[in-house]
Amino acid sequence: MARYTGPVCRLCRREGMKLFLKGERCYTGKCAIDRRAYAPGQHGQARGKKPTEYGLQLREKQKARRLYGVMEKQFQHYFDEAARRKGVTGENLLVLLERRMDNVVFHLGFASSRPEARQLVSHGHFTVNGKRVDIPSYSVRVGEVIAVKEGSKSSPRMKELLENLGTRSVPGWLSLDANAAAGTVVALPTREDIQLPIQEHLIVEKYSR
C-alpha cells in the first residue's frame, strides 16, 4: 500500500493553504503555514510567475490528491471510474473520494486527521456491519455501520479520541452515535456536502488535455 512518507507540512505550504494533515497541530501556532506562509524550497520566497492554465490545473489536482491522501496512480483510477459513471465527472470524482473508509472515519471524529484515520483503519481498529475492515480505500455504502472495534476502545489514543467524540460537526450524509462509538451512512454524499476548496472542473480539464 503506497503512501506519502515525507514531511506533510511542506505539502500545505506548497498548496498555499491548510490541508489539516497533522490533526490538532494544524489549529495551533506551530502550524508551518502560519509561520512560513510561502512555498518550500530554495526559491519558495521568490516572486513567482503568473501560473499557466496547466499550472492551475495541476495544482488543483495535487491539492485534491493530498487532501485525501491518495497517490497518483490511485487518483487516476478514481478519475477513470468517475468518467465512466453518469453525471458530472468532477462531482463523481469527489463523491468517490469522499466515500473512502479513512475519510468517513475522519468525518465521524474517530481520528484527528485523514492520515491518522488511514493508519487506524490499516491497523484494523474499525468494523463495517460487524466485520473488520482494514482497507482505507474501502468505499462505504448506504446503510453500513462503521464502528470502533471493541478491543480497540481500551487503547490510550482511542480513549482520547472517543472522549472528544461529538465535538466536531458531522456531514449530513453520516449519522454518529457517540455512546456506541459508531456511525451510519444514511445517504451518499452530494457535491453540496463536500465542504472543501476544490475546483473539480480544473482537474477534469487537466485529465482531458
Chain CA centroid to CA 141, Å: 17
Query: Residue 147 — φ and ψ, nearest 5°?
Result: -135, 155
Full domain range(s) for residue 173 = 99-185
Extract the C-alpha cell encoding 199: 475546483
Extract the C-alpha cell encoding 180: 456506541
Percentage of the chain modeled with pLDDT above 70? 77
**Tens digits of residue pLDDT in 103-132:** 999 999 999 899 999 999 999 999 999 999
Structural domain contains residue 136: yes
Q: Which residues contact 207 (CB under 8 A, 6 or more apart)?
A: 61, 76, 79, 83
- Owner of C-alpha cell 473539480: 200
- Owner of C-alpha cell 476544490: 198
Structural domain contains residue 87: no
User: Among 156, 143, 153, which Cα is nearest to 179's?
Assistant: 153
User: Among 16, 37, 34, 15, which Cα is nearest to 26's?
Assistant: 34
Query: Residue 153 — φ and ψ, nearest 5°?
Result: -65, -20
Residues lower than pLDDT 70 in the chain = 1-49
pLDDT computed for residue 32 by the predictor: 55
Structural domain contains residue 191: no
Q: How far is CA 31 from CA 10, 19, 27, 141, 149, in A?
A: 11, 11, 7, 35, 32
**Tens digits of residue pLDDT in 48-61:** 667 889 988 998 99
Structural domain contains residue 146: yes
Structural domain contains residue 176: yes
Structural domain contains residue 85: no
Contact of 139 with 95, CB cutoff 8 Å: no
CATH number at residue 146: 3.10.290.10
In total, how many domains does the chain have? 1
Structural domain contains residue 103: yes
DSSP state of 127: E
Q: Which residues contact 42 (CB under 8 A, 6 or more apart)?
A: none
Structural domain contains residue 175: yes
Tell me which amino acid residue 47 is: R
**Tens digits of residue pLDDT in 85-107:** 999 999 999 999 999 999 999 99
